[in-house]
Structure 1
Amino acid sequence: MNPIWLPASLFGGLFQAWRTALQQRLRAELSVSGAGLVRYLYGLPFALAFAVAWLGARHAALPPLGLAFAGLSAVGAVTQMAGTILLITAFGHRGFVVGTAFSKTEAVQAALVTALFLGEQLPLLAWAGIVAGVAGVLILALAGRGLTLREIAGSLGQPAALFGLGAGSMFACAAVAIKLATAELQGVDTVGSALVTLVVVMAMQSALHLAWIIARDRETLAAVGRTWRSSAQVGLLSALGSACWYTGFAAAPAALVRVVGQVEVVFTIAFAHFYLREPVRWHETLGLLLVVGGVILALLST
């Protein structure tokens, strides 16, 4: 296991939290679809620049892109987009918090998928860390609404929870597909394979999303162009975050990368407390302890 996976996972969580904050502000000017498009369309030039700079600095040639690589990249691109659509659908059922919370079961689902289909076995300590991290995220998201354990269990049958779980499944499949795609690239190092894969996946996502908007919502396309300054910032952070995630996937089990990347919620809540001066509530303390504990257990297992 390449040790680069750890800083990559931590920075992936940081950049994702930062990007989400900027993207939420951009939602005042763009539709949901438009805010999603800028991640890919404005992120692609940055991803391409990262790949060219890295390969150039390493004096490495572009590796052959075979059919298996293309197929796995397409699966990663489509499942990631499907996960986003399912998550947005969960929001439409008045279940923003519930949908987001259950989508964070992605780490557990990724561990199950890789164990069942790829034979990727994790130590018991790693499983404990994954479960603790997911439990922490659920507590942070759901306990803040004053829900009891009985009410949380009952919410599993709600459309928002089901769509959230579906989103988590799609994100888990995307992580596994991307990991397998990076493994198909020969003659290039871990970071190089991650960056090349990122460029291909983002290009596919940009083409698919752009085609849909041109066919169905051309007004959004004009708005995406008008907001290029803000959108470019979102694109940069999206490319940085995805570069970190892809590097982590290439270097370590996807489930470990995702559970460590859950420090994203720590960054988000820390910003709320230290910058916005919001008080600390009991469920946030418990949830943060579980998330951090999960990260520590995952690290100890390696």
Structure 2
Amino acid sequence: METWVLITVAAAFLQNVRSSMQKHLKGVMGTTGATFVRFGFGLPFALLYLVLLWRVGGHQLPVPNGTFYLWAVVGGLAQIAATFLLLHLFSFRNFAVGTAYSRTEPAQAALFGLIFLGEKASQGALIAIAISVVGVMLISVARTTLSARSLVTSVLSPTAGIGLLSGTFFGLSAVSYRSASLALEPSLPQPDYLIQASFTLGFVILLQTIIMLIWIVARERDELKRIGAAWKPAFVVGFVGASASFGWFAAMTLQQAAIVKVVAQVEMIFTFASSFFIFREWINRLELFGCLLIVLGVVMLLVI
């Protein structure tokens, strides 16, 4: 099995852990605070990974250029917007439909990859992307009471719009991170996906932390107290989140962002495994069918 696949599966597992804990934090602080925790508490670990690769692993540090800075800034801002919108969905009673639309990220990443990088996905890859996206969207609405009419009208609902926009920003950030990481290659003796990914992650998460901190101090200062009161779980979220992000950045340096994001959908499988084996929650038929579609999409992608 290729390296990027193993890295992606590991990152998906870690993201599942981080997402579960971040939802808990959403209950003790606002959307802005829960968004900041992902970046601010992940920063020390992202910088630690970079230092270890450089000083202990002997990897040469890349020299950033204008292209790197452009894509890193675009990706960082897009991810902040995507994360904020996704967390904001949980404040709606009918957030399931919006969450389903946010899962169109792989398809949108494929479009952005074509527009900005000229990366063309094969017909088989596009079919695999479509199958996995449908599977995830089915899972997202599996426990809601939706008729054919409500499904049609939900397309125009505010939650659908927010979810779709969140997926757009996530797709844009993924392609931007790949572009930024690849822009570092000319400054290295040879391609080094680990140091490229770590350097990109370190810069981006530092930028995101500064932006979010300035916003909180200027507009929502009370959030600082809530964040401080929940520093222990936030610390764990930061560690797990930074580890997952490092995996994403490494995988997307090696492979097209859209392809990586399809394999990353196995996160949903981990979610249901946790629900079933740990919390003893049953999975309904639509959720099971959605899981099978995700697996089918991933398998198709890996064998074509």
Same fold, TM exceeding 0.5?
yes
Q: CA RMSD in A?
A: 1.6
**Structure 1: 5+ residue stretches without partners:** none
Q: Give the number of equivalent residue pairs.
A: 300
TM-score by length of 2: 0.94
- Mapping of residues 207-222 of structure 1, within 5 Å: 207-222=210-225
Partners of 2:244 and 2:59 lie apart in 1 by 23
Give the 4+ runs in structure 1 shifted more than 6 A. none
One-letter code aligned to 2:299? I
1:85-125: CA deviation from partner (whole Å, max 9, x where unpaired): 33344444533211111000010111122123422112222
One-letter code aligned to 1:204? L
1:7-54: CA deviation from partner (whole Å, max 9, x where unpaired): 121112111110011112223332221111111111000001111112
One-letter code aligned to 1:220? E
Partner of 1:120, secondary structure, is: coil
Deviation at 1:151, TM superposition (A): 2.6
Contact 2:60 2:195 in 1 (8 A): no
Partners of 1:65 and 1:92 lie apart in 2 by 39
The answer for the alignment partner of 1:87 in structure 2 is 86
Q: 1:82 to 1:97 in 2, by over 3 A?
A: same
1:175-218: CA deviation from partner (whole Å, max 9, x where unpaired): 11100000111315101100110000000000000000011122
Partners of 2:291 and 2:198 lie apart in 1 by 31
One-letter code aligned to 2:135? G
The answer for the alignment partner of 2:103 in structure 1 is 104
1:242-283: CA deviation from partner (whole Å, max 9, x where unpaired): 111111111101111101001111101111111111122110
One-letter code aligned to 1:111? A
Contact 2:35 2:80 in 1 (8 A): no
Partners of 1:237 and 1:149 lie apart in 2 by 39
Contact 1:69 1:181 in 2 (8 A): yes
Contact 1:90 1:159 in 2 (8 A): no
One-letter code aligned to 1:203? L
Contact 1:40 1:205 in 2 (8 A): yes
Partners of 2:149 and 2:143 lie apart in 1 by 15
Contact 2:71 2:179 in 1 (8 A): yes
> Structure 1 vs Structure 2: percent identity of aligned residues?
35
1:228 is the counterpart of 2:231: yes
Deviation at 1:69, TM superposition (A): 1.0
1:49-72: CA deviation from partner (whole Å, max 9, x where unpaired): 111112234312321122221111
**Structure 2: 5+ residue stretches without partners:** none
Work out which of the residue numbers 278, 291, 300 in structure 2 matches 1:297: 300
1:225-249: CA deviation from partner (whole Å, max 9, x where unpaired): 2322111100001101111111111
The answer for the alignment partner of 2:279 in structure 1 is 276
- Mapping of residues 243-254 of structure 1, within 5 Å: 243-254=246-257
- Mapping of residues 1-302 of structure 1, within 5 Å: 3-185=2-184, 186-187=187-188, 189-301=192-304
Deviation at 1:171, TM superposition (A): 0.6
Partners of 1:22 and 1:205 lie apart in 2 by 20
Deviation at 1:126, TM superposition (A): 1.2
Partners of 1:84 and 1:123 lie apart in 2 by 29
One-letter code aligned to 1:296? V
Contact 1:108 1:131 in 2 (8 A): yes
